[in-house]
Structure 1
């Protein structure tokens, strides 16, 4: 991967961006309007505003994140932790758009989202 969109904010985004720098991978940070001056947005190689303050209108807007990743030439997308990293549908959208989802495969996310099935699978190993 040459360029990754970091679809999170704060400390986790900073850690992801710093890890990418050690691997010579360019980063694109996203930020909501109130987060414009946040550290993660100025340490990345590029930063793009993705919407208003509400997470549902910015950081959780899946289609907007994929659009920005494609628009900025990203070949990977790191969801950080939390909601997006647990949504198999989002991982599938990334893959369908030709973007590498940096995380488990959509099928593994779906499997491990069902705690009982996840335990049974792990016990079989």
Structure 2
């Protein structure tokens, strides 16, 4: 009987050791996951920066006609207009169809932290500029 108790106590100690080892491994995995998450966030930001630069460059070179199809320009935070439920601005003409609220939402996303003032025409120019389009002054 005493031998059985010793075996059980030994098994319990082994299990406790295994649990401690698993806790250590889990903590290590969580630490590595935090590092990976940080790298993914950095890559996402860089990809959004690249996508924004490409879209604005394309739009600048192709925006000579109102019906020209434009590239969608992500916001500075990396989100796309569709993520915010905003209508697609895929032509210069589509800017004309925005409501005042939608235009203000776009401007708030493209120019975060700034107070946007000016006439409707000035606000449209700011939006065209944010999209990389050529604007006549």
Please, what TM-score do these two structures have when normalized by structure 1? 0.24
| More strand as a share of residues | 1
| More helix as a share of residues | 2
Please, what TM-score do these two structures have when normalized by structure 2? 0.23
Larger radius of gyration: 2
